[in-house]
Amino acid sequence: MSHFRPVKLEHASRLINHGPTVLVTSAHEGRRNVMAAAWSMPVEFTPPRIAVVIDKRTYTRELAAASGTFGIIVPGAAMIDLTYAVGTSSGREIDKFDAFGIETVKGPVLGLPLIETNCSAWLECRLIDEKHTEDAYDTCFAEVVAAAADARVFVDGHWTVDESNQPLHTIHHLGAGKFVRASSMQLAKPLAR
Ligand X SMILES: Cc1cc2nc3c(=O)[nH]c(=O)nc-3n(C[C@H](O)[C@H](O)[C@H](O)COP(=O)(O)O)c2cc1C
Q: Using CB under 6 A as the criterion, which residues of the chain lie in contact with ligand X when the complex forms?
A: 21, 33, 35-39, 53-55, 58-60, 84, 87-92, 173
* Shortest distance (Å) from residue 184 CB to ligand X: 21
Helix or strand or coil: residue 50?
strand
- Inter-residue contact 153 to 181 (CB < 8 Å): no
Task: Pick the closer one to ligand X by CB: 10 or 81.
Answer: 81
**Which secondary structure element, helix H or strand E, spans residue 35, and what is its range?**
strand 31-37
Task: Pick the closer one to ligand X by CB: 88 or 160.
Answer: 88
Task: Pick the closer one to ligand X by CB: 7 or 23.
Answer: 23
Interatomic CA distance for residues 117 and 97, integer angstroms = 13
- Inter-residue contact 146 to 104 (CB < 8 Å): no
Measured in residues, the chain has a length of 193
N- to C-terminal Cα separation, the chain: 50
Task: Pick the closer one to ligand X by CB: 4 or 67.
Answer: 67
* Shortest distance (Å) from residue 90 CB to ligand X: 4
The residues near 21 (Cβ < 8 Å, ≥ 6 apart) are 36, 37, 38, 75, 83, 170, 171, 172, 173, 179
* Shortest distance (Å) from residue 136 CB to ligand X: 14
Q: How do 154-155 and 158-159 pair as beta strands?
A: antiparallel
* Shortest distance (Å) from residue 92 CB to ligand X: 6
* Shortest distance (Å) from residue 120 CB to ligand X: 16
Task: Pick the closer one to ligand X by CB: 89 or 117.
Answer: 89
Task: Pick the closer one to ligand X by CB: 16 or 146.
Answer: 16
* Shortest distance (Å) from residue 171 CB to ligand X: 8
- Dihedral angle sign, alpha carbons of residues 178, 181, 184, 188: positive
Give the nearest residue (CB) to ligand X: 87
